Amino acid sequence: MSSTTCDALTIVFAKAPREGEVKTRLIPLLGAAGATALHRKLVQQTLATAADAGLGPVELHAAPDTSDAFLQANALRHGMALLPQYGADLGARMCNAFDEGLARHSRVIIIGTDCPVLTPQHLRDASAALAARNDAVLIPAEDGGYALIGLARCDARLFENIAWGGDTVLADTRERLRQLKWRWHELETLWDIDRPDDYRRWSELIILNENKYLA
């Protein structure tokens, strides 16, 4: 393992796959059961991506708690610690996870489970950016948020009073980084699966990749 990858902790934030509570904007297209099945698939893909990156330990941080059998089974399958998310909102939960992770590791990366085009190489590049003495690293998302955030230090101001889920998350985060006078690096912009158009885009990508193998 190279110096750019050692001592990096990857944390996957995932919701329990409760029908009617995940991928809700896709329920009109897929139905509640279909949206839940998609969520399960994305969780499994994300955990595999994090494991394949080979950066070091991976933790699965579950919401609302660690009681879900699906998340338990997948954490066990990959040998990952399963921990609860805690905090009043997403920002507080991420801040708490970073605080605890950075007490044990020099670099911590947090990803969600909505970005199917995130690859192990993206995670390796993020870790390398932090190893290159950046305080933070981001992978912007097309919807105005981010698909990955990695930190070598943590400050609660980076996560306070952010309209999570809105289209200003990335812009607000950049402004906080400027206010903190931190050095940060951004990787290529990716996209999440949140809306019907995103799902169709992903489906077309799968078909395209399958055709490549058949050619």
Alpha-carbon distances, residue 175 vs 71, 72, 75, 154, 182 (angstroms): 35, 37, 35, 15, 10
| pTM for the structure as a whole | 0.93
54 Cβ contact list (under 8 Å, min separation 6): 1, 5, 120, 124
What average pLDDT does the segment 7-11 reach? 93
Write down the number of H helices and E strands in the chain: 6, 7
**Tokens read off for 65:** 């708690």
Q: Tens digit of pLDDT for each residue in 112-133?
A: 999 999 999 999 999 999 999 9
DSSP-assigned letters across all residues of 135-177: SEEEEEBTTSSEEEEEESS--GGGTTT--TTSTTHHHHHHHHH
**Tokens read off for 115:** 């970005």
**Predicted pLDDT of residue 14:** 98
What average pLDDT does the segment 91-100 reach? 98
* CA–CA gap between residue 108 and residue 113 (Å, rounded): 17
95: three-class secondary structure by DSSP: helix
**Predicted pLDDT of residue 3:** 42
> Does the pLDDT value for residue 28 go beyond 50?
yes
What average pLDDT does the segment 128-157 reach? 97
Pairing of strands 8-15, 58-63: parallel
Q: Tens digit of pLDDT for each residue in 151-190?
A: 999 999 999 999 998 999 999 999 999 999 999 999 999 9
CA atoms within 13 A on the CB side of 149: 20
The DSSP letter of residue 67 is: -
What average pLDDT does the segment 31-51 reach? 97
Pairing of strands 81-84, 136-140: unpaired
Alpha-carbon distances, residue 164 vs 17, 91, 95, 171, 174 (angstroms): 20, 8, 13, 12, 14
**Predicted pLDDT of residue 198:** 94
Q: Tens digit of pLDDT for each residue in 44-91?
A: 999 999 999 999 999 999 999 999 999 999 999 999 999 999 999 999
